[in-house]
Amino acid sequence: MDWTHLPGLADYRQTLAAMEDRVARIARGEADEAVWLLEHPPLYTAGTSARAEDLVAPGRFPVFEVGRGGQYTYHGPGQRVAYVMLDVAARGRDVRRFVAALEAWVIDTLAEFGVRGERREGRVGVWVTRPDKAPNLDGSVREDKIAAIGVKLRRWVSFHGISLNVEPDLGHFDGIVPCGIREHGVTSLVDLGLPVTMADVDTALMATFPRHFPMLDTAAAAR
């Protein structure tokens, strides 16, 4: 497994092109699986299910249409993006199980900081309850999204991945309806009152990753 930290704020188009090239080489058996850890400058991405009305402020940041699943998401400084390029064919050819493993990876990472991340039926991503906030109009406890997940497969190799809010400017999410969900908000580790750094998050991501994505037996994984 090749872990790479991309320095600074990674240009989105250049990173996407490099990721697609890496995916093609993995599919041909010419490169190892990889996880890239990075941050982007402020931007919005539109997945294959994005609705035009969910782009609230179209002129605020650059908007990129991408082939991953999902709707509108935000990327920006203070958010840890992990692009995950794995051989899903060798890992069972089960896309739903793969997405669930990504969610479980994030949940375990959050647990390293004492945060309980949760799944919600019909809502991809990871959520936290906010009893510290005023309840919803129906009296239910508020929930905020702390991590988004969006993936694409090409020849059974995954790309795109997860974005975990560490300390982004949460006001930047106001230009979209994140993932098409109007009823709930977004949060971050620092917003939850945790003085967590990006380096802390990277250490936790790398430590918890093997629980959900064990190393492949190279011989068994041969196509």
Rounded distance between C-alpha atoms, residue 23 and residue 94, angstroms = 18
What band does 222 get if pLDDT is binned at 50, 70 and 90? very low
Q: Which two tokens stand for residue 11?
A: 């240009």
Per annotation, catalytic residue among 88, 147, 179, 192? 179
Q: Which two tokens stand for residue 174?
A: 């106001």
Residue 146 backbone dihedrals phi, psi, to 5 degrees: -110, -15
Is 130 a residue whose pLDDT tops 90? yes
pTM: 0.93
Contacts of 80 (CB under 8 A, 6+ apart): 37, 39, 163, 164, 166, 198, 201, 202, 205
Cβ burial 108-120 (10 Å sphere, 16+ → b, else e): bbbeeeebebeee
Bridge partners for 156 per DSSP:
none
Known catalytic membership, residue 67: no
Is 219 a residue whose pLDDT tops 60? no
The H helix count followed by the E strand count for the chain is: 3, 11
Rounded distance between C-alpha atoms, residue 183 and residue 152, angstroms = 26
Task: Give residue 143's pLDDT.
Answer: 94
Task: Give residue 217's pLDDT.
Answer: 67
Out of 32-36, 112-116, 117-121, least confident range: 117-121
Q: Which residues are annotated as a binding site for substrate?
A: 68-75, 148-150, 161-163
Local structure of 79: helix, strand or coil: strand
Q: Which two tokens stand for residue 107?
A: 């949940």
Task: Give residue 181's pLDDT.
Answer: 72
Task: Give residue 137's pLDDT.
Answer: 83
Asked if residue 160 lies in contact with residue 68, where contact means CB atoms within 8 angstroms, the answer is yes
Secondary structure letter of residue 136 according to DSSP:
P
